[in-house]
Chain A
């Protein structure tokens, strides 16, 4: 039986690009665990923010591939790191799957206007490591992990944009660290009308990871506009 996810030996690399690691594997495991739901969901647009090596978006494209190979989903993969988008493109090619790859900053994204309300599935493995604030937004591989205070600086910029881009039936899968205060993230998203569930929990010697799935719940009252982030 052919592999349902990307193969590590086919993942391309570059010294300035984050290699697939425990957090990437946890995210792919979460998507695999939810694969049946994803297939039934029949997404038209899927998007990964911060695609790095391309391991996750490639895995997603493989696991949702139809047997007849016909185009049924359109994938977008973005990263702020120009080396990463090149590597992602190579990783996708090596697995003969396709995603549209863009070098883009989610906080001022070229997709924000036209892709508004159209994304059915978004996956994010954000830079979540708590670091001094001035390490956020540096060029190269640091952009893959430097998350500022409580590791929340970039996450808090991504969440409001995710809320704009997600369609009415949109789902968001995001990796978080215990230090990011995931329950507070869930509360913020609840105010925006999202229910949430932890799909994968994983503790390593170094970190305790959660992959959380968010979806719009029509029964939730959308709260006042929260002041989180700068957007």
Chain B
């Protein structure tokens, strides 16, 4: 599971108002190389919650992303490459995603998160 996906997931349990971002419980993470495409990464910028990405990357030991960003940084290839690495190349393989409000854990097995809710959570 890429951090892109982590950035697009939230806890959808009935009654939860603050289900984003999900915490990361990391048992195993991996780095998988992806061809760099600056246009694609630039397109991604407006779709991403930056702080959630920075924190998720940090929890995997990657601290090269700036805390504060603005769109002028999209001119810098170096910035785009770091963004690319955090967004697409860092993968959670085994562990869990944790609801920030309830602490409910969504397991991640072989890189696949299980977001299914129980009947009493819908």
Contacts and interface: CB of A to CB of B under 8 A. Distances in A.
Nearest to A104: B115
Nearest to A82: B114
Interface residues of B, number: 34
A177 interface: no
B100 interface: no
Interface in A76-94: 76, 80, 82, 85-86, 89
A108 B12 contact: yes
Contact of B35 (A70, A101, A115): A70
Interface residues of A, number: 32
Contacts of A105: 115-117
A118 interface: yes
B115 A86 contact: no
A113 B12 contact: yes
B5 interface: yes
A9 interface: no
* Main SS class of interface, B: loop
Contacts of B106: 110
Contact of B4 (A70, A100, A103): A100
Nearest to A74: B4
B96 to A, nearest CB: 13
Interface string A90-124: 00000000101111110111111111001000000
Given A70-B36, A71-B35, A102 B7 contact: no
A109 B8 contact: no
Contact of A71 (B10, B40, B47): B40
Contact of A80 (B10, B112, B113, B116): B116
Given A68-B35, A70-B36, A110-B106, A102 B115 contact: yes
Given A70-B40, A86-B110, A100 B19 contact: no
Contacts of A181: none
A179 to B, nearest CB: 28
Nearest to B10: A113
Interface in B87-122: 88, 106, 110-117, 121-122
Contact of A72 (B37, B47, B115): B37
Q: Which of B39, B116, B121 has the most CB of A within 10 A?
A: B116
29 contacts: A44-B40, A44-B43, A44-B47, A68-B35, A70-B35, A70-B36, A72-B37, A72-B39, A74-B4, A80-B116, A89-B111, A100-B1, A101-B112, A103-B114, A103-B116, A105-B116, A108-B117, A108-B121, A108-B122, A109-B115, A110-B12, A111-B115, A112-B12, A113-B20, A114-B9, A114-B10, A114-B20, A115-B8, A118-B8
- Which 5 pairs, one residue from A and one from B, show the smallest C-beta to C-beta distance? A110-B115, A70-B37, A103-B114, A70-B35, A104-B115
Given A102-B113, A110-B11, 4 more contacts: A44-B40, A70-B40, A76-B8, A104-B115
Interface of B: 1-2, 4-5, 7-12, 19-20, 34-37, 39-40, 43-44, 47, 49, 88, 106, 110-117, 121-122
